[in-house]
Structure 1
Amino acid sequence: MIARTHVAALSGLHSVAQLRTIVSRRPERARHLAEHYDGQAPEFSADLSAVAADPSISMAIVATPPSVRKGVIEQLAKAGTHILLEKPVARTPEEALDVVEICEREGVTLGVLFQHRMRQPSIAAARHVAGGMLGNLGLVEIAVPLWRDQSYYDELGRGTYARDGGGVMITNAIHSIDLALSLTGPVTRVQAMTATSPLHEMEAEDFAVAGLRFANGAVGSFVASTAMYPHRTEVIRLHFDNASLRLSKDGLEISWRDGRTEIEAADGTAGSVKPLSGGRHEWHQAVIADFIDAIRVGRKPMVTGRQALVSHHLIAAIEASSRTGRPVDLAC
């Protein structure tokens, strides 16, 4: 579903990269993607081994379902191909760690595509948090109020543990989880409940709620669902000593305790939200550009595979707390 966005993003990176090959189990079904690439038409193949063996291909974007991802990554990594991976890393924290260790063992760079960090409001929020003027963080609110109709889950395997590793948290809310944790630091304790609402027929959860305690002493809440109609944008609110931040894709609002309100990085193109449109490709393009630069200069990408494990551990802790009804502690 996200392939078109990746192809459009690569169209804007002609000066640093060329899209050489699109690999699909059914190449004929992927050929329409060439319409979204503004450059020399890519080749289409079902032969991953040929791509891995091509010395002129230095990196690959892996956007398969999590259930078939590990073998693809292992084959690319053994060939020395750097990998930029669509979220999530894998279906479980254990499987995700295996993926990370495969890439570390083979000496290839593994980046994870959390494009919400590249939104201008997110960049502005990170700058303010790092600046120190906000004071100590006291309270965190993470809200992911999404809508998916039943047809979304009627696709084979979607919303199952075998293919996706779970429901709303690992497939949808993981973006907001990653972004929030990049601003707040790690969570140390979780008390949670998850459920499948009567609005969907699916195996995994379409609703999750959790109370959070953070390593820095802050407390907070997390609510995510794909059963909240109409579809709305995710919102992260951070309450500090001196100000509160409201962060969404459309802008960053800072409410200072002295009564001032600042709005930064507002997106003038904001309008109605289309839940399955694939989003704007500029954020993906920025992540891909960062990954390419990281390879060329030998630095870490924006989000490494090992850094992405933090979100996986939090999701697993929320699931565990829901099963037992008891708090779950996480190691920092």
Structure 2
Amino acid sequence: MIQVAIVGAGAIAPKHVEAYQAFANRCRVAYVCDTALDKASSLAHRCKLSAQVVGDYHDLLMKSDIDLVSICTPPSTHAQIAVDFLTHGKHVLVEKPMASSLAECDAMLEAAHKSGKILSVVAQNRFRTPWMKLKALLDMKVAGAILHAQINSYWWRGRCYYDLSWRGTWESEGGGCTLNHAVHHIDALQWMMGMPSEVHALMSNVAHDNAEVEDISMAVLRFPSGGVGQITSSVVHHGQDQQLIFQCEHARLSVPWNLYASRSMLNGFPERDVEREETIQQLYDQLPELEHQEHVGQIDDVLRAIESGTPVLVDGYAGRRTLELIMAIYKSASTGQSVKLPLDVTDSFYNKESLLQVVPRFYKKTRSVERFTSNDITTV
């Protein structure tokens, strides 16, 4: 039986608890930790946990009855908590984004390497059947090479969203919608297509005058393959229509699933390639449905890795690549210049301290509350 500690009892923590409870024959949540003890107690009560409630995660480091720790705290705290638990021989699953700087990512990776323990970064959308099927078809190249990728990470958040104490500043949140909302779609892009070689971006804050950070960014990408891409990250889009669209040599493949294949007539104008569409659709339909999805799927993956020694699907290196692409977007948007990848350790966007000297602050944070009356969140 794998013994689990939940560190951080905020809005995302119930997703972790519920996922662990789906595998009650394999694991047990033994501890819930939050600096606000009443939040930890409330989480344990709501989820009907027979778990010990703790206020300081340091009190858990030496516990021999903890195998795995879910870190559900604000992004700026991820690195130190993860390093401490890894150093004390615990496996770690850390919420997105992995950390608030590449230097912190590297410290986490080093701790995982030295301890020999698993470090996995939450990317629950990889564990959705449509995303997994799209990844498989792209790997199979059934539509040919990718020519253009379009990532629409469209969300909407009200002004008061940034009233929460740790949100809305570069110091505590690490960034705005590019880091904290589009991270899933940016992760999907680098998972499905690989890392770009060049990024050019801009960002702004157009609707949230109580936050330093951006509420929209747009980036164009060049890939080593010759393909190009674009990413829009936003919390100002009504309807929250999110898409991953890959225009390949022979067909469009996307999530939500939308298949369209074209072929050239003698004059170069397109006609629909129904035969190719039928072939691709048959392959899509034959791919298996995932037994467990989203957080449940990822936690199943982590538990299996602990039990069998197999690699996790989303390790610390994957989390770092996603953050590196986000930092390239921030660097380009902050400087107005194209950015070449990879970023090295001398780059001003490698360390948080130097990043804070360069990024724009669109507005001053004007209100700070420790928690909202309602803890309801939506994740789609």
1:182-331 superposed matches below 5 A: 182-228=191-237, 230-248=238-256, 252-257=257-262, 258-259=273-274, 260=277, 262=281, 282-331=293-342
> Using the alignment, how far apart are the partners of 2:330 and 2:44 within structure 1?
40
Larger radius of gyration: 2
**How big is each residue's C-alpha offset from its partner over 1:159-201, in whole Å with a ceiling of 9 and x where there is no partner?**
2111111000111100000012111111111111011114442
Q: Give the structure 1 partner of residue 86 of structure 2.
A: 77
Q: Give the structure 2 partner of residue 92 of structure 1.
A: 101
Higher mean displacement: 205-214 or 253-262:
253-262
> Using the alignment, how far apart are the partners of 1:36 and 1:116 within structure 2?
25
Residue 14 of structure 2 is aligned to residue 4 of structure 1: yes
Residue 57 of structure 2 is aligned to residue 43 of structure 1: no
Cα distance, 1:286 vs structure 2? 0.8
Secondary structure of the residue aligned to 2:44 is helix
> Using the alignment, how far apart are the partners of 1:313 and 1:79 within structure 2?
27
* Contact 2:40–2:54 under 8 Å retained in 1: no
Residues 231 and 35 of structure 1: CA distance in aligned 2, closer, same or farther (over 3 Å): farther
Q: Give the structure 1 partner of residue 369 of structure 2.
A: none
**Gaps in structure 1 of 5+ consecutive residues:** 266-280
Cα distance, 1:59 vs structure 2? 0.7
Residue 23 of structure 2 is aligned to residue 22 of structure 1: no
* Contact 1:199–1:227 under 8 Å retained in 2: no
**How big is each residue's C-alpha offset from its partner over 1:34-91, in whole Å with a ceiling of 9 and x where there is no partner?**
34536x5222111423422222211110111122222222221121000011011111
Letter in structure 2 aligned against 1:28: D
**Gaps in structure 2 of 5+ consecutive residues:** 1-10, 263-272, 286-291, 344-380
* Contact 2:168–2:210 under 8 Å retained in 1: no
Q: Give the structure 1 partner of residue 3 of structure 2.
A: none
* Contact 1:10–1:37 under 8 Å retained in 2: no
**How big is each residue's C-alpha offset from its partner over 1:182-237, in whole Å with a ceiling of 9 and x where there is no partner?**
11111111111011114442111111001111122111111111112x23132110
Secondary structure of the residue aligned to 2:105 is helix
Higher mean displacement: 43-52 or 75-84:
43-52
Residues 231 and 200 of structure 1: CA distance in aligned 2, closer, same or farther (over 3 Å): farther
Identity of aligned residues (%): 26
Q: Give the structure 2 partner of residue 116 of structure 1.
A: 125
Residue 110 of structure 2 is aligned to residue 101 of structure 1: yes
- Structure 2 length as normaliser, TM-score? 0.78
- Structure 1 length as normaliser, TM-score? 0.89
Letter in structure 1 aligned against 2:19: A
How many residue pairs were aligned?
312
Letter in structure 2 aligned against 1:44: V
**How big is each residue's C-alpha offset from its partner over 1:111-144, in whole Å with a ceiling of 9 and x where there is no partner?**
0010010011011111111222111110110011
Cα distance, 1:102 vs structure 2? 2.0
Letter in structure 2 aligned against 1:60: V
Q: Give the structure 1 partner of residue 43 of structure 2.
A: 33
> Using the alignment, how far apart are the partners of 1:331 and 1:48 within structure 2?
34
Secondary structure of the residue aligned to 1:205 is coil
* Contact 1:7–1:36 under 8 Å retained in 2: no
